[in-house]
Amino acid sequence: MNRFNRIIAGKGRTTIPFFQNKSVKKTIIGQFPRLFHSMKQKYILISILTFVCLLQTKAQTFTLQGRVTDEQMNPVELATVSVLKQGKVTITSMKGEFSMQLQSADSVIVSFSMVGYKTKTRLLRNPRGKQTLQVILFEDENLLSEVDVSEMRRQTSQSQELKPEDLKRLPSTTGNAVEEMLQLQAGVSTHSELSSQYNVRGGAFDENSVYINDVEVFRPFLVRNGQQEGLSVINPDMVERVTFSTGGFETKYGDKMSSTLDIKYKRLTPQAGKKTYWEATANASLLGAGAYVGFANRKLSWLNSVRYKTNQYMLGSMETTGEYRPRFLDFQTYLSYEPIKRWRIDIIGNVSDNHYDFTPQDRETKFGTMENVKSFRVYFDGKEKDLFRTYFGNISISHELTKNTRIALLASAFYTQEREAYDIQGQYWLDDTESAENLGVGTYFEHTRNFLKANVKSLKLMMQNKTRKHQSEIGLTIKRERIRENSVEYEMRDSAGYSIPHTGYDLNMIYSLRARNELAANRSEFYAQDTYRFTLGGSDADTPDSLAWEPTLFTLNYGVRMSHWNFNRETILSPRVSLGIIPSFNQHLTFRLATGLYYQAPFFKELRDTASVNGVTYATLNRKVKSQRSIHFIAGMDYQFKSLGRPFRFTAEAYYKLLSRLTPYTVSNVKVTYYGDNEASGHALGLDLKLYGEFVPGYDSWITFSLMNTRMKVNGQSMPLPTDQRYAVNLFFTDYFPGTTRWRMSLKLAYADGLPFSAPHKELNRQPFRAPAYKRADIGMSYLAYRSKAPRTSFKLREVWVGADCLNLFDISNVNSYYWVTDVTNQQYAVPNYLTRRLVNFRVQVSF
C-alpha cells in the first residue's frame, strides 16, 4: 500500500479520525486515485484532505454530561469518569454530576468507577453535540449488602465525612452521639465521660466551631462541669451528613483556630410511585428517652424530635453522695418546603430547658501512692440550683438561579438565659491513713450567684456556583451580639480556726469575684473560596488500552476570609489554601497539603480581664484584646486497600501550628477561664494516625493513635498548654455473634495522657504535675428482637432493638480536676475529683 492509501486508511503513525469511517474510506480509496494519476496530484489531494480533515476533527467534538447515582438514586460523589483511549478523566461533583469534552469517533467507551461499586462502561456510537447519561452504580458483590461505602470515598479536602450510621452503635453516656463519635477521632481528646465537649490538637473547648445547615450555633456560657451539661443542639436522629475537620479547613468556616464541625440535616422524599413518606423512632434507657417523627410529600419534609436526659443514675456512682436531680429537655423541628420549582424554604427551631439541682451530703476520697495513702472526708450542708434555657431558630430562603447557581438568604437567632446559684458549706478532715496523723481540718464555704443573658442574631447571604471544574462560594454575614452578666462568687476557708489566707490582722476570702458587664457589638464577616478540580498527565489517544494510564487528579481549594468587630475595632484577614492529589501511579493513594492563617476572634469569655482591689477580684471587659492567631501547616495521606476482601482506609496526618497573640487560660473540669490579655505565644505539633474499615465483615470499626507536643511562652517562662495531651489511643470496634446478625457488640476504648495541673491562682507558673492517664472502656450488646419482612411501602413497625451497655467496664477511677486543700502553714494538697464508676444501662429502640 502506498503512502497515500496508508494515510487515508488510518495506518502507520499518521492517524486521522475522519478516515476511520468505513464508507468515507471506501469512497476515497476507490474513486479519488482514478481521478488523480500523477504523484504530484496525489500529494495535492493529500494536503487538501489533511487540511479539511483537521478542521473537521476539531469540529467533531462532543460534550458528555450526566449524573452518577447509586441504586437508591443518591448521588455518588468523587466517582471517576474516564475515557482512557483519549486520555480524558474527570470526577463527579458532590451532586454526582459530571461534564467533559471528548472527540467523536465510531465508538467511544466511557468507564464509571468508584471504590465499593462495580465498574460500569458505556459504549457511545458516533456521538455528536451534547450527550447526557444517567448512570447507576451497583455495590460490589464482594461487599455485604449492609455496607455503606461513603467513608471509603476519597478525601481530597481537609474535611472528612463521618458516617451517621456509626452513631447508632455507640455506647453513649451523654446522649450526644455526634460529639461522642468525634471524641474517638484522631487528634481529638476528652477527659470526662459526662461532657460532650472536646479538645482538638491542643486547642481549648472554645476553639471549635459548629454549623447546622450553614448556620453557626453556640453553647451555653456558664457551664463549669460535665454534670451540668444538657443535650447538644445537634439531634442525631435528624442528621444526614457529618463533616469534620481537625485543621486546615476552608474559608467558609468561621474564625476558630482548632476545628470545624459541619452538620447537614436530612430532607425526606417519598419513594418512587408514592405521594407521602413517614418514618419514626422511639427509644428509652436508664439515662433518658426520646422520640422522632419524620414526614414528607413531594414538596415538604418535616422532622420533629423530643429528647429527655437525666444522668442521675451515673452521678449516683460518684464519691460525693447526695441528692442529684438533673433534668434536661430538648425539642427540635426542621421544616423544608419547596413552594415552586427552584425555590426552597428551610426552618429550624430548637428549645432546650436544662435544670441541675444538687444537695450534697458527704464525700470520702482516698488518694496518693501505695506507700502514702491519704484520706479526705467532707460533710456538706447547702445546695446548688442551676438553670440553662436556650432558644435557637433559623430560616433560610434559597433559589436556584440556574442549574449550577444557587443563592440563599439565612436569618438566625440564638438566645440563652442562664443561672448558676449555690451555697455549699463543707467540714473536712485530711488524714494520713498509715500514721493516722491529722494533716488538716477545717471548713470551707462556697457562694455563687451568676446570671447571664445572651442574644446573638445573624443575617447571611450566600451564593454557590458550579462549573465543570470549579465550585465557588461567597458569603456575607452580619451579626448583632448582646450579652449581660451579673456575677458574684466567693470562697471562705478556715483551717484549724484560722481564716485562709491568714495575716493575723485581716479577715479575707481565699477567693472573691464580682462582675457586672454588658456587651453590645456588631460583627461582619465575608468569605470567598473556590475548589478547582483538574488533571495533569495521562496517556494520549494513540496509546493502546493495555498500556494506557490515568492522569494525576488535583483538587485545589483556595480562598480568603475577612471579618471586622466594632467592639475592639479589629479587622482580620485569613487566607487559606489546600491541595489534594490522587497520583496516576496509584489511584488508591491520596496526598493532602494545607496551610492558612487562622484567628480565634474574641468573644465574651476572652474579653473578661481581672484586677484585684483590697482582696476582691473585679472582672471587666477588655476592649484591647485582639484575636489569637494560628498558622497551620498540614501534610497528610490516605491509602485505601482491601484485606480479606474487605475495604480499609489508612490515614496519616502531620501538623504544626505556630501560635501567637495567645490569651492564657486555665481549665477546671469544662470551665475555661481566660486572663484577658494577649501575652503569650507557642506552638502545637503532632502526628495523627487512623485505620478505618471492616475489621468484621459488614460492620465499620476504627483505631486511632495520636502524638502531640505543645508549648506556651508567657512572662519569660515556657510551659505546656493546659490541654497538652502527649499521646492518645482510641478504638471503636463492632462485631456480631457467629452464625447470626441479630446479636451485635460495640466496644469503645480510650487511653489518653493526663493533662497538666497546677495550684489555683498559680497557673502561669510551671505546672508541677500531671493528672493520671484517662483510661476507659464501654461495651454494648444489642439484640434485634423484631424485623419486619414487608417492604418499606407503608408506615408500620419495622425494627425493635433491645440492649445493655456496661459503662466503665474495668471500674477505673479517672480524674478530670482537683480540689485544693490548704492548711494554716499554707501547704496545699491536691485532692482528686474522680469521675463515674462502673454502671449497667439498659435500653430499647423501636423504629417505624
pLDDT at 497 over 80: no
Per-residue pLDDT band for 387 (boundaries 50, 70, 90) equals very high
Percent of the chain with pLDDT over 70: 86
pLDDT tens by residue, 63-97: 888 889 887 677 887 888 888 888 788 888 877 88
Radius of gyration of the chain (CA): 32
pLDDT at 749 over 90: yes
pLDDT of 524 reads 95
Residue with cell 501547704: 827
Q: How far apart are CA 6 and CA 53, in angstroms?
A: 15
Window from 10-14, 39-43, 558-562, 690-694 with minimum mean pLDDT: 10-14
pLDDT at 5 over 60: no
Name the nearest CA neighbour of 594 among 649, 645, 653. 653
pLDDT of 445 reads 87
The amino acid present at 225, given as its one-letter code, is N
pLDDT at 25 over 50: no
How far is the CA of 707 from the CAs of 201, 345, 420, 632, 749, in angstroms? 9, 45, 37, 17, 17
pTM of the model: 0.80
User: Which triple of cell numbers denotes residue 288?
Assistant: 433518658
pLDDT at 802 over 80: yes
Q: Are 679 and 691 in contact (CB under 8 A)?
A: no
pLDDT of 191 reads 86
Per-residue pLDDT band for 147 (boundaries 50, 70, 90) equals very low
pLDDT tens by residue, 258-278: 999 999 999 988 877 788 888
The amino acid present at 506, given as its one-letter code, is D
Window from 488-492, 743-747, 761-765 with minimum mean pLDDT: 761-765
The amino acid present at 166, given as its one-letter code, is D
Most confident of 11-15, 93-97, 700-704, 786-790: 700-704
Sign of the Cα torsion 283, 730, 671, 825 reads positive
Element of type H or E holding 323: strand 320-337
Strand partners, 782: 744, 803
pLDDT of 229 reads 84
Per-residue pLDDT band for 15 (boundaries 50, 70, 90) equals very low
Per-residue pLDDT band for 536 (boundaries 50, 70, 90) equals confident
pLDDT of 452 reads 93
pLDDT at 367 over 60: yes
Ramachandran angles phi, psi of 32, nearest 5°: -65, -35
Per-residue pLDDT band for 496 (boundaries 50, 70, 90) equals low
pLDDT tens by residue, 152-162: 567 778 888 88
pLDDT of 389 reads 94
Per-residue pLDDT band for 410 (boundaries 50, 70, 90) equals very high
Window from 27-41, 73-87, 360-374, 619-633 with minimum mean pLDDT: 27-41
pLDDT tens by residue, 440-457: 788 888 899 999 999 999
pLDDT of 506 reads 61
Window from 4-18, 197-211, 298-312 with minimum mean pLDDT: 4-18
pLDDT at 696 over 70: yes
Q: How far apart are CA 380 and CA 363, in angstroms?
A: 8
Q: Are 633 and 665 in contact (CB under 8 A)?
A: no
Strand partners, 388: 354, 418
pLDDT at 174 over 90: no
pLDDT of 504 reads 59
β strands within 566-645, DSSP E: 570-582, 589-600, 608-613, 616-621, 628-643
pLDDT of 26 reads 47
pLDDT at 368 over 60: yes
pLDDT at 776 over 60: yes
Per-residue pLDDT band for 578 (boundaries 50, 70, 90) equals very high
pLDDT at 37 over 60: no
CA dihedral 42, 48, 50, 56 (to 10 degrees): -150
Ramachandran angles phi, psi of 641, nearest 5°: -155, 170
